[in-house]
Amino acid sequence: MKSPIASPDYVGLVQFLVQPFLESPESLSVDCEISPTLKRAWIRIAFEATDKGKVFGRGGRNIQAIRTVIAAAAELAGQSVHLDIYGSNSQSREGMSFDEEQEERIPPPKSRERSGNVPMPVAKPRFR
């Protein structure tokens, strides 16, 4: 029989992962709420808006790596985790949680409609 694993120190883990990206690490605020009945942790972090680019990284790579590490720690403890990020003026990806879709939806490119009676190019077979 497995012994129950104590909840990870989410606050310490998030501080360890996020602070290196911040110009002023003391601006980082981490709040963690754990529901033992739901086996779920809610983590809310806030930092200076000027550090948003470094924390998120190119294409969101940094924040995705941080979310992955936190999710792995939660999984080891038999929990799921929800991460909210605050502290920026714009509301593009900050309010996105770990459980939500990570990729922003981009509409498929529209096919160009041909105007008038422009003939379609014909591929001609090559003979040698």
Closest alpha carbon to 69 in 4, 32, 33, 17: 17
Please tell me the predicted confidence (pLDDT) of residue 48.
92
Beta bridge partners of 32: 43
CA 16 to chain centre: 17
Report yes or no: 85 and 92 within 8 Å, Cβ to Cβ.
no
The pTM of the whole model exceeds 0.85? no
CB atoms within 10 A of CB 88: 20
Domains of the chain: 14-83 (3.30.300.20)
Least confident range from 12-21, 71-80, 95-104: namely 95-104
Report yes or no: 12 and 61 within 8 Å, Cβ to Cβ.
no
Mean residue pLDDT across the chain:
79
Note the pLDDT tens digit of each residue in 29-41: 999 999 988 899 9
Cα separation, 13 vs 2, whole angstroms: 24
Please tell me the predicted confidence (pLDDT) of residue 86.
87
Query: What does the block give as tokens for 33?
Result: 């709420």
Is pLDDT of 10 > 70?
A: yes
Is residue 119 packed enough to be buried (19+ CB in 10 Å), middle (13-18) or exposed (0-12)?
exposed
